[in-house]
Chains A and B, each alone.
Chain A
Amino acid sequence: MIPAPFDYEVAESVEHAVELLGSREDAKVLAGGHSLIPLLRLRFTRPALLVDIGRIDELRYVRDAGDKLAIGGMTRHHNVQHDPLVQEHCPVLSYAAGLIGDPQVRHRGTIGGSLAHADPAADFPAVLTALEAEVVIRGPEGERTVPVGEFVTGVFDTVLRPQDVLTEIRVPKLGPTGWSYLKFTRRAQDWATVGVTAIVRRSNGTVDSAAIALTNMAPKPVRAKAAEQALTTPNDIEAAAEASLEGTDPPSDTQGSADYRRHLARVLVRRALGEAISS
């Protein structure tokens, strides 16, 4: 329950954070803390220095950026859930935010922190993958932008380098689409056993495009391309569901075996597509 000792510095700006992160070996960014503090407490991780970016208020925003929404990395789940811009232009993200953890977690956890932590069972990484969002990263060499699909590289692993700070997430506005996020859990507060995001654009009985991403079906979010391609009309849902397992490599744990997760993913893809198409 008591973390091992560490040093603590408050970053007053992103630049300051980058500088502080470079000041020590094994420094870590502290955002909302809802991924990091549980690990510290169980002493699963023992950084030498925490750089708290929680006081950089300019990282907490949702802005209209033309065809995209720009969401500050330190925006809390609760604010993502209730933000009118997110609700209007990206309702699936708002909806998914409301399913993360519990209200207390949503009051503190941040979208940037969740992405940077890259837990395969977390909701945001896969939802943002389906949304084809981009991640803005600030490091010692300046700013760079990485598609979410390339940002997460494995279990708890991302392209972030030791001095990098995730500053913003850019999410394309959805426009008229049908969407669904189905999160299967045993209890409301749990991480997803499997989650499915489906976003469908359709016209006159055909499906123009679909984006399907799976949560917790591999070490990183899975974009189910084969399933997307299989879906050209609403009648193809079953075929799309069957194709959705391509590229998956689900874990086996107390929430379900890999076999069960594969079965569940097919069922949920079918249901999510049904919901997205009829919504």
Chain B
Amino acid sequence: MPQGRLRRNGPAAGSPPRHHAPRRSPVLRAFSLAGLLALLSACTGPQSTLTGAGSEAAQVETLFWVMLVGAVLIWVFTIGLSIYATRVHPERHSEKTGTRLILWGGVAFPVVVLTALLVYGLKLMPEFRAEANGPTIAVSGERFWFRVAYGVEGEPGVVKSLPPGGVESANEIWLPVGVRSAILLGSPDVVHSFWVPSIAGKMDMIPGRVNRLVIEPVKEGVYNGVCTEFCGDAHGQMGFRVVVVSPGDYEAYVAAQSQPAAVTSGPGFEAFMENGCDACHAVRGTEADGSVGPDLTHLGSRLTIAAGILDNTPENLVRFISATEHVKQGVEMPAYGMVPNEEIAAIAAWLEQLK
């Protein structure tokens, strides 16, 4: 059948000429390159597991590299094998060779590798949840921020809420370095998840249940924490900072946070009370005792505002108070654009004084 052969092997007369393999467009290339760079840029920084700032993250990092190298070797072997079977030695192989390859490469090898990985992983897991020897800190996932209370007393459990008390703060967790701190995790309404990629995690924050995460930072520094369970509109803007300091500095910080507000009078404070901010926010040492939103007693000492999304500056504070939705879509706090600018500026100036 010469015609059939012709058709199979080359373009028949009259048929459209065959195109070369399509070239990749420069735009696509640029996108791939940008994607690769974006991926690589995620390998360092305050939100990377590969920073090794916690004992658990360090173990995860080791596991990651072992698995990556292993996966690359297996990939190279598999691709090599398929090149060998299709290009180098495309003739028929004996059934015995095939069966042997399947038995060793497809059964024995994966069984040994998977068993080793499983046993290794299972041995690691209880170590991550070992007993704490540091402070117990309660962290509640709110919509869409983190309520923090230092020095609480409580245990994990179900049909219960986070233990009350402790020194309250928000969106910033200070931890002593080299110490295993217990973090009790809960939520009043929807499920959130707590993760500090550089140090440890992650663990869900579930309403009606108190979970326990043990976290051991090994490097001082400031790291990012994030909510990793979709919880609503502003889920993507629900973050916090973790500040790892020496145990002495940690004690000093908590002692300072337990103090009432430094400034409890003035035009800023008056504007704060007149506009009803105290319905939601507490400022210890004043009549403001709302508990819906973050405790603002020491707002001025925090690194960020609006749950880790803006640097803590008076300008950002004014921006946030006047147009909350513009800064953080889905935020529960209403915008106070109707309040005169000078009053908002006074409130911001006062809050910044609360170190």
User: A and B bound?
Assistant: no
Residues of A within 8 A of B (CB): none
